[in-house]
Amino acid sequence: MEKITSTQNAKVKKWQHLTTKKGHHKFHQYLVEGWHTVGDAIAAEQPVVQVAATPEQLDEHAQDIPDDVERFEITDEIAKKLSDTVTPQGIFAVIDILAAEHVDPDEATGAWLLLDRIQDPGNIGTMVRTADAAGFSGVVFGNGTSSRYTPKVIRAMQGSQFHIRLSEDDLGNWVSAFEARQIPVYGSALDKDAQNYQTVEPQPAFGLIMGNEGQGMSERLMSQTTTNLYIPIKGQAESLNVAVAAGILMFKLNQNLV
């Protein structure tokens, strides 16, 4: 096993690069951090190709890392450099990004969360985690939604990316495909002319679109949905956080499943 001691080592620089969008495009790989996520990725049979860890972390987890995964011993200083957190655990994995992860909306079953230009990594990750908990089949990242391979998104997903399906697509394709199959697609609106979410009967299969934090859903998508839903707000708050709103809608719409 190779021991790396310099933060200037070329592998360290590449791993750092794998926490950025540019790095993901260049290498078709991404970096995850912490045993919670690394172990989840291995358990979910993700294409983990390398593990880099401090001696303590290697000792602790060696028997859980498959034999075909390349291992590197790193220093605490390198762990700090690679980490997105203040107190890094000291274990990282490089995972291949597979082109085959694309989901065909003509064949998708169950409930799907569709993200329209969501920006905040914490919101995105939390929505994936909530979709998993609400029994959704998957989440589609629409054009303009932040990458699912950045450290903050990965941390907020808490391993749920390995439990449900994730895809990237033009949401227009999903709306058209679902409507052709007579599966409802719900938009979300702040508009009181939209339908109160409490009046919708839970469905076995549907799409739910959540829109950008500041601007909401695009007008174009809004006009294509089966119906648009709103959550009645009682106090003086102007709106809900998008991940909270998504949670309320997902647990209501999929209520018969949980």
User: Does residue 133 belong to the site contacting its own copies (CB under 8 A)?
Assistant: yes
Scanning 49-57, 99-107, 121-129, 207-215 for contacts with its own copies by CB under 8 A, the matching segment is 121-129
- Residue 255 interacting with its own copies (CB under 8 A): yes
Based on the shown chain and the rule CB under 8 A, indicate whether residue 201 belongs to the binding site for its own copies: no
What does the CA dihedral 130, 133, 136, 142 come to, rounded to 10 degrees? 20
Cα-to-chain-centroid distance, residue 145:
10
3 state SS of 238? coil
- Compute, in degrees rounded to 10, the torsion defined by CA atoms 66, 70, 74, 80: -80
Report the DSSP beta bridge partners of residue 206. Answer: 111
Stretch that binds its own copies, among 9-17, 76-84, 217-225, 234-242 (CB under 8 A): 234-242
CA 66 to centroid of chain Cα atoms? 25
Residue 171 within binding range of its own copies, rule CB under 8 A? no
Q: Which is nearer to its own copies, 215 or 223 (by Cβ)?
A: 215
Place of tokens 């647990």: 251
Q: Determine, following the binding rule CB under 8 A, whether residue 135 of this chain makes contact with its own copies.
A: yes
Name residues contacting its own copies, limited to 141-170 (CB under 8 A). Answer: 156, 158-160, 163-164
**Of residues 160 and 188, the one with the C-beta less far from its own copies:** 160
* Greatest Cα pair distance in the chain: 63
What is the closest distance, in whole angstroms, from the C-beta atom of residue 246 to its own copies in the complex?
8
CA distance 220 to 151: 31
Instruction: From 129-137, 144-152, 213-221, 222-230, give the range in contact with its own copies by CB under 8 A.
Output: 129-137
CA 23/CA 208 separation, integer angstroms = 31
- Site residues for its own copies per CB under 8 A: 122, 126, 129-136, 156, 158-160, 163-164, 198, 231-241, 243-248, 251, 254-255, 257-258
